[in-house]
């Protein structure tokens, strides 16, 4: 599995390429977790383009399954990219994103710079 190992504000992270197959199950999350652990990463960065369409449709349960898998293994996860369209179409998704961004395990950010600012406390 191809990934980039990056440092974001002192946090070792693995960033997955946008052109990889879509993340579409808890098993896929397990594969990413294994690779992250093999690189001693504490944060997984997932581009929105890497998510299956069902991920942002909360009623599918996919987001909950995948994100809970990361949390269970003590890994933080950041979803990077523009989700304005899905947010405009779903009030529950907007609530989910706001609640996630208030926490410390799952974050949504527009880009890596915004994520780095968040990690640095800026």
Position 1 scores a pLDDT of 54
Q: What percent of the chain has pLDDT over 90?
A: 76
pLDDT in tens, 24-69: 888 888 888 998 999 999 999 999 999 988 999 999 999 999 999 9
Q: How far is it between the farthest Cα atoms of the chain?
A: 38
pTM more than 0.85: yes
Contacts with 40 (C-beta within 8 Å, 6 or more apart), sequence order: 12
Cβ atoms < 10 Å from Cβ of 115? 23
């Amino acid at each position: 599995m191809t990934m980039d190992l990056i440092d974001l504000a002192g946090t070792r992270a693995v960033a997955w390429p946008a052109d990889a197959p879509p993340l579409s199950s808890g098993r896929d999350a397990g594969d990413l977790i294994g690779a992250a652990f093999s690189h001693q990463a504490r944060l997984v960065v997932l581009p929105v383009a890497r998510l299956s369409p069902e991920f942002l449709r909360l009623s599918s349960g996919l987001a909950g399954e995948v994100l809970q898998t990361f949390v269970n293994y003590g890994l933080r996860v950041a979803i990077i990219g523009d989700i304005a369209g899905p947010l405009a179409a779903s009030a529950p998704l907007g609530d989910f994103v706001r609640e996630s961004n208030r926490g410390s395990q799952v974050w949504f950010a527009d880009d890596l710079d915004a994520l780095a600012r968040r990690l640095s406390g800026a």
